[in-house]
A and B are shown apart, each in its own frame.
Chain A
């Protein structure tokens, strides 16, 4: 037994989650579809949530992700919202994508040079803060 004073110690985020991160993926560390989603890849839950008898195979974490992806959202926001490590979220998202419950709207940020319009919109937005 480890003596942990109530409260404080476990609240430090450096101490990490109490459950080993990959317990919620059943020990799987790679996305089932082999695709690594970018941190700001955009995903969204599909209308039907792919629940044709498949929902029983989903964990509470899977369901939480579908909930968070009700509106288009990023992998980073899901990781933060579920307090799960990004790697774990990628594994769970891949499950949901294969079940058809979630789809990828945009995988990677564009690598080309950003457009003038985009930069102008960002500048105007920043100036208006």
Chain B
């Protein structure tokens, strides 16, 4: 835990970002590039999404499957800690999505241009949910190169959704991805605030 600060009492202000995408697209690699990755064990019937909906009396018989997802934490300030959760893209893990997405600031959809279809479920989910997201193309060696705009068209993304190239193994590259995401979240926030106030959005904090 935060042993470096253990001498003084402190508060904790955690926030979460999601790293979504298809199987073996580099989610774990991306989280590991910027933070210490820890495994988080979870079980299908015990998520917030199922409690209250499923009949839990027969749960122990229902499944004993334990699913591990990755998460990492980045301490950014005295109290502010960013949690990165790797969200498995396969449909059988959808039970976890609502819980992971609840209260999240935004999401990175990590994509492999050779298997672009794999990120459709993630993109659809975030669009439907209204959660700000960006698409990061993990540049695997030997994979064909596409312009971000080509990928935007292929995924039928809104023009405002950033598409960036990245190397999920590189700290600098992953930093750039997360900064792009948070800038996008800030831009979306400015739009929402402006819409409420009835004024044009200021180019608030994203450029400096």
Contacts and interface: CB of A to CB of B under 8 A. Distances in A.
Contact of A21 (B10, B43, B183, B205): B43
Contact of A123 (B51, B103, B182): B182
Contacts of A85: 41-43, 46, 66
Interface residues of A, number: 51
B24 interface: no
A42 B48 contact: no
Interface string B192-205: 11000000000011
B128 interface: no
Interface in A7-54: 13-14, 16-17, 20-22, 27, 29-30, 36, 38-40, 42
Contacts, number: 160
Q: Which of A40, A77, A129 has the most CB of B within 10 A?
A: A40
Contacts of A38: 48, 99, 102-103
A62 interface: no
A71 interface: yes
A87 B63 CA distance: 13
Contact of B103 (A76, A80, A110): A110
Interface in B1-18: 1-2, 5-6, 9-12, 14-16
A76 B182 contact: no
Interface majority SS (helix, strand, loop, mixed), chain B: mixed
Given A30-B56, A79-B40, A111-B102, A72 B10 contact: yes
B80 A87 contact: no
A120 interface: yes
Contact of A79 (B2, B16, B41, B83): B41
Interface string A81-93: 1011111101000
Contact of B83 (A20, A74, A111, A119): A74
Contacts of A36: 48, 51
A112 to B, nearest CB: 10
Contact of B85 (A39, A79, A81): A39
Contact of B46 (A42, A81, A90): A90
Contact of B189 (A40, A76, A79, A116): A116
B60 A29 contact: yes
Interface of B: 1-2, 5-6, 9-12, 14-16, 34, 38-43, 45-48, 51, 56, 59-60, 64, 66, 68, 71, 73-74, 76-77, 80, 82-83, 85, 99-100, 102-105, 171, 175, 178-179, 182-183, 185-186, 189, 192-193, 204-205
21 contacts: A17-B41, A20-B60, A21-B66, A30-B51, A36-B51, A38-B102, A39-B83, A71-B5, A71-B10, A76-B40, A85-B66, A86-B41, A87-B46, A105-B11, A108-B103, A109-B16, A111-B103, A124-B76, A125-B80, A126-B74, A126-B178
